[in-house]
Amino acid sequence: MDDAKPRYYIRFSLAQRYLHWALAGTFLGLAFTGLQLRFSSAAWIQSIARAVGGFGAILFFHKFCAILLTVTFLIHVADLVWRIGFKREWSLLWGPNSMVPRWKDILDFFGNLKWFFRLGPQPRFDRFAYWDKLDYWGVFWGMAIIGLSGYAMWFGSFFARLIPGSWLNIALLIHGEEAILATGWIFIVHFFNTHLRPENFPMDLTIFTGRLSEEELKRMHPEEYERLAASGGLQAIAAENNRTPS
Ligand code: HEM
């Protein structure tokens, strides 16, 4: 192999990249349509609504995206159940390849804060940093809060048989406030952590190409690199033909 050429390693499978596209697309669709419903009294939003066929049409697209997001989420959960329950991939539940938080994540969080103030070295991250896990669990939290409240409102007459009808008003309140929190999180925290950090600016393409270079793996995930190098596991994630991401 030509040593002058950069080596690339696989970080995300094709299926994971498709799911991320589906998650991002449906979330943006929901945020775009939902915030128009939330601020429907603003004159400029009413002009948009008139142009696209009224708020009924916006709500229709909101519900359409909600179904697609729910399917995306369920595919991910089914994959987890399959891999953990049937294929016994326990590494998904604990260890460096798991999204389950570890003590190291808490230490890394405080270590990173110290590093921000130049009071210590930057923590050495493994496959997933604590901010990756926060983003990941945020989707579960969001699906529980936004999803449940959304479906409760959508199928109000059914849910009103199970819960007091006044709770549907609370569901609307929670749905709207959580939507602002979720949209703010994605546009501020998620975008900053994944794309706008000086190391990644202007964009980290790994979630789209699935690969990262050896230099990026060493720099951003040094513990993972060293662990795989020591165990001979690097070859297993080497990108085919060592191609540059297309
Ligand atoms: C499974 C997911 C979701 C479902 C089933 C759902 C369903 C709904 C429904 C039925 C409404 C209309 C409520 C009414 O009768 O006025 C609504 C409103 C809204 N949705 Fe969603 N939604 C979902 C996800 C989201 C997401 C991810 C966001 C934003 C990030 C969002 C933002 C909003 C907002 C801001 C409103 C307007 C709330 C208000 O008027 O105060 N929704 N949603």
Per-residue model confidence (pLDDT) at position 246: 43
Q: Is 180 inside a domain boundary? A: yes
d(CA 159, CA 177): 21
Shortest-distance Cα residue to atom 8 of ligand 1: 150
| Model pLDDT, residue 201 | 84
**Nearest Cα residue to atom 19 of ligand 1:** 34
Give the pocket of ligand 1 (CB within 6 Å): 27, 30-31, 34-35, 37-38, 59, 62, 66, 69-70, 146-147, 150-151, 153-154, 172, 175-176, 179, 182-183
User: Quick one: 85 exposed, middle or buried, by C-beta within 10 A (0-12, 13-18, 19+)?
Assistant: exposed
CATH (domain of 82): 1.20.950.20
C-alpha span between 190 and 141 (Å, rounded): 15
In the structure, what pLDDT confidence band is assigned to residue 239 with cuts at 50, 70 and 90?
confident
Taking 50 as the threshold, does the pLDDT of residue 10 lie above it?
yes
Give pTM, 2 decimals.
Answer: 0.91
Question: Which amino acid residue places its CA nearest to atom 6 of ligand 1?
Answer: 150
Tell whether 14 is covered by a domain. yes
- pLDDT tens for each residue of 147-172: 999 999 999 999 999 999 999 999 99
2 in a structural domain = no
Average pLDDT, whole number, for the chain? 93
Tens of pLDDT, residue by residue over 81-116, are 999 999 999 999 999 999 999 999 999 999 999 999
The answer to whether position 118 is within a domain reads yes
Higher pLDDT: 239 or 180? It is: 180
The domain in which residue 227 lies consists of 8-241
> 150 CA to middle of ligand 1, Å?
5
Q: Distance, CA 52 to ligand 1 centroid (Å)? A: 18
The pLDDT of residue 3? 57
Among 17, 39, 11, 9, smallest CA distance to 183 is for 39
Domain assignment present for 172: yes
Domain count, the chain: 1
Distance CA 182, CA 40 (A): 19
